[in-house]
Amino acid sequence: MPDLATITGITGAVTGIIALIVSIKNYARVSAMKALDLRLELQKSFNNLDVVLSGIDAYLDFVHQSHMRVLAATGRNQSGEMRMFEEEFGNDKARLRRLLGTQPRRDGSYDKHAPDDLEKLLVSVHAFQAQISELRGKYQRLFEADEDRRKEIRAEHRA
C-alpha cells in the first residue's frame, strides 16, 4: 500500500501537469485575442485615416482661395504677407504630396501578421495621421480666422 507521501506527490505532479496544459491553452487564447484586438484597432485606424485624408487636397485649395479673398478684401493683396502665405502654401502642398507618398498601405487581410508587425503598422498609421491632422488643423485655424475677419468686414460695411 502506497504511503501518504507518495499519494501526495502523485497528486501534485498530476495537478502541475494539468496546470501547465491549461496555462498553455490560455496563453494561446490570449495571444489570439491580442492579435484580433490589434487587427481591429488597425482597421479602425485606417478608416479614421481615410476620413482625415478625404478631400484634404481640395480643402487646402479652398482655404487658400478663401484667404486670398480675405487679403484682397482687406487691401493686402500683392503685399509681403500675401507672398509669404503663397510661399508657405506651396511648401505645405509639397509636404502633403511627400506625406501622401509615404502613406501606410492597407492590406487585404492581416490574419497572418504577427502581433509585433501589427503593432508597428498601427504606430506608423497613427504617426502618419498625426502629421496629416496637424497640417489640416493649421488650415482649419486659418479658415476660422478668415471667417472672423469676414464678419468684421460685413459689420464695417453695415455701419
117 within domain boundaries: yes
Say if 7 falls within a structural domain: no
Taking only the tens place, the pLDDT of each residue in 59-73 is 999 999 999 999 888
Span 114-142, pLDDT tens digits = 888 889 999 999 999 999 999 999 999 99
Count of domains for the chain: 1
68 domain-assigned: yes
Residues 6+ apart with CB under 8 A from 42: 110, 118, 121, 122, 125
pTM for the complete prediction?
0.75
Query: What percentage of the chain carries pLDDT values higher than 70?
Result: 99
Whole domain around residue 43: which residue ranges?
Answer: 34-158
Q: Is residue 98 part of a domain?
A: yes
Percent of the chain with pLDDT over 90: 58
Residues 6+ apart with CB under 8 A from 80: none
In a domain, 128, yes or no: yes
In a domain, 20, yes or no: no
Q: Is 11 within the bounds of a domain?
A: no
In-domain check, residue 125: yes
Using pLDDT thresholds of 50, 70 and 90, give the confidence band for residue 1: low
